[in-house]
Amino acid sequence: MSEDWNILVVDDEPPIRAELRYLLEKDARVGQIAEAGNVTEAVESILSNKPDVLFLDITMPGRSGIELAETLQNLKTPPVVVFVTAFAEYAADAYNLDAVDYIVKPVEDARLSKALDKIETALGARRVVHAPSQPLRLTVDRGGKKVFIPVADVCYFEARADFCNAVCAEGTYLINESIS
């Protein structure tokens, strides 16, 4: 099953971006791949495309990948970050910024595959955290009995004096309680 991750590759060297794109396109979980040559382009792409994953070089002209990753922590749901760099000495800094992985160039298929598995785990954990523990439902009066209806079935709510109705495709119901 394809996940169709939206990925942004940020590196100041076009051949490196092209190679990483080539390797990523082999994986069925990967959807759209965008590229940026520096942090400024990356910020523009992040704001407009909202990528799920960032493959981020550290040393680039101007602002560094570390600085970008620090800024991303201010987002409500920042993209998952994998640092891809020629310098192993930045690994500790990268992990302090909650990077999912740290790959040293040149990128090899097997190493990238491990990073993609870590991304899948990280993105899966986000979905679990944001999923409600049970479907939202309302307690309503149906023929004198209290029953539950899914909130998703409600077309709109109708406020009347001191009570409220839930209007659904199959009928109108008096709400007995708040959302549970």
Query: Could you read off the pLDDT of 91-147 as tens digits, one per residue?
Result: 777 777 889 999 999 999 999 999 999 999 999 887 655 555 566 788 888 888 888
As a whole number of angstroms, the distance between CA 65 and CA 41 comes to: 12
CATH 3.40.50.2300 for domain 5-130, yes or no, is: yes
Coil, helix or strand for 164? Answer: strand
Domain ranges of the chain: 5-130, 137-175
The distance between the two most distant Cα atoms of the chain, rounded to a whole number of Å, is 71
As a whole number of angstroms, the distance between CA 100 and CA 166 comes to: 44
How many Cβ atoms sit within 10 Å of the Cβ of residue 58? 23
Q: Is pTM, for the whole model, over 0.75? A: no
Coil, helix or strand for 104? Answer: strand
User: What percentage of the chain exceeds 90 in pLDDT?
Assistant: 56
How many Cβ atoms sit within 10 Å of the Cβ of residue 59? 13
As a whole number of angstroms, the distance between CA 172 and CA 176 comes to: 13
